[in-house]
């Protein structure tokens, strides 16, 4: 039995006649009659007995109708879900971000999103950018959030905001701190990602005594008076007191970007999260930029 056969059969069982069933399906009576005959031919048994111009369901028809009712009930649930997805999206959202944003930014924005979308189940994890790209390739993520503007034909990159960077140090400094005045002997190198690539454009820090892989770990070492470094303002504010955070000269920024597969459209839930994240970042970075670099804005 095809879906079309099921549709004709179900309509006749509900309406009690071929004429009313045809009207319900917006087709002609001859077309409905032909479809019914084809269904019975395919099945190998009769669904209705014809008596005095009426269709009387057979025993087999009643058995099929019980199953058909459950199928149409599920179709009704499916339609309701599809309607709800456009208004209040349900389902599961899988997100990953770099570790420093998982410590500061993501909990705040995700908590806000959950409050407004309580039906959505959310998976949030942290990974380095290369690992997140691998997970996107396997469809293990809806999208990823990073400071790295990835050059990959299979990945769509959506810049969300420019995040200011700050010099962090447990020792007192004049503000702003010139990058050429940073003490090389105390330098903590923040990995080999986009931040490190940006720093190299301004100054080379050769053979640092301490290398780390995450910004918040670098901030943790600074808090323990193990040296100095440059990191994003989110990690700095999450871990350090304001007295250890300084503006840089020249001012430096990183783009925070959302990444997703170019061959897959974002779900409505993902679009809503992206919209909320962008709005949150615009407000947050405006205040941070004004505080750190008032003359740059």
Question: What is the fold, at CATH topology level, of the domain defined by 162-253?
Answer: D-Maltodextrin-Binding Protein; domain 2 (3.40.190)
Confidence of residue 190 (pLDDT cuts 50, 70, 90): confident
Domains 91-161+255-280 and 162-253 share a fold: yes
Task: Say which residues have a Cβ less than 8 Å from residue 99's Cβ, sequence separation at least 6.
Answer: 126, 127, 128, 214, 215, 216
Q: For the chain, give every domain's residue range.
A: 3-87, 91-161+255-280, 162-253
For the cut 60, the answer to whether the pLDDT of residue 89 exceeds it is no
Average pLDDT estimate for 10-20: 90
Structure tokens at 44: 């190998």
Confidence of residue 228 (pLDDT cuts 50, 70, 90): very high
Question: pLDDT over 90 for what percent of the chain?
Answer: 39
Q: Which pTM does this prediction carry?
A: 0.68
Least Cα distance to 97 among 256, 266, 209 occurs for 256
CATH number of the structural domain 3-87: 1.10.10.10
Question: What is the fold, at CATH topology level, of the domain defined by 91-161+255-280?
Answer: D-Maltodextrin-Binding Protein; domain 2 (3.40.190)
pLDDT digits (tens, 9 = 90+) for 106-143: 999 999 999 998 888 899 999 988 999 999 988 888 99
């Amino acid at each position: 039995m095809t879906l079309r056969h099921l549709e004709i059969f179900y309509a006749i069982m509900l309406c009690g006649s071929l004429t009313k069933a045809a009207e319900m399906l917006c087709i002609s009576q001859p077309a409905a009659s032909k479809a019914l005959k084809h269904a019975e031919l395919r099945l190998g048994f009769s669904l209705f007995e014809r008596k005095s111009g009426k269709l009387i369901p057979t025993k087999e028809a009643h058995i099929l109708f019980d199953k058909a009712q459950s199928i149409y009930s599920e179709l009704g649930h499916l339609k309701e879900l599809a309607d709800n997805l456009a208004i209040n999206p349900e389902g599961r959202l899988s997100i990953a971000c770099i570790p420093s944003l998982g410590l500061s930014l993501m909990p705040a924005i995700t908590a806000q999103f959950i409050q407004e979308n309580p039906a959505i189940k959310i998976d949030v994890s942290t990974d380095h950018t290369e690992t997140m790209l691998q997970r996107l390739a396997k469809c293990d993520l809806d999208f990823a959030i990073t400071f790295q503007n990835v050059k990959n034909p299979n990945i769509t990159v959506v810049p969300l905001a420019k995040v200011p960077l700050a010099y962090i140090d447990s020792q007192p400094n004049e503000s702003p701190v010139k990058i050429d005045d940073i003490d090389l002997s105390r330098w903590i190198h923040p990995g080999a990602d986009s931040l490190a690539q940006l720093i190299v454009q301004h100054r080379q820090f050769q053979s640092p005594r301490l290398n780390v892989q995450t910004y918040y770990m670098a901030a943790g070492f600074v808090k323990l008076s193990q040296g100095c470094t440059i990191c994003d303002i989110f990690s700095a504010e999450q871990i350090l007191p304001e007295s250890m955070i300084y503006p840089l000269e020249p001012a430096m920024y990183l783009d925070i970007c959302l990444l997703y597969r170019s061959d897959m459209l974002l779900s409505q839930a993902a679009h809503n999260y992206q919209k909320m994240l962008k709005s949150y970042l615009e407000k947050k970075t405006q205040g941070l930029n004004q505080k750190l670099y008032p003359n740059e804005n």
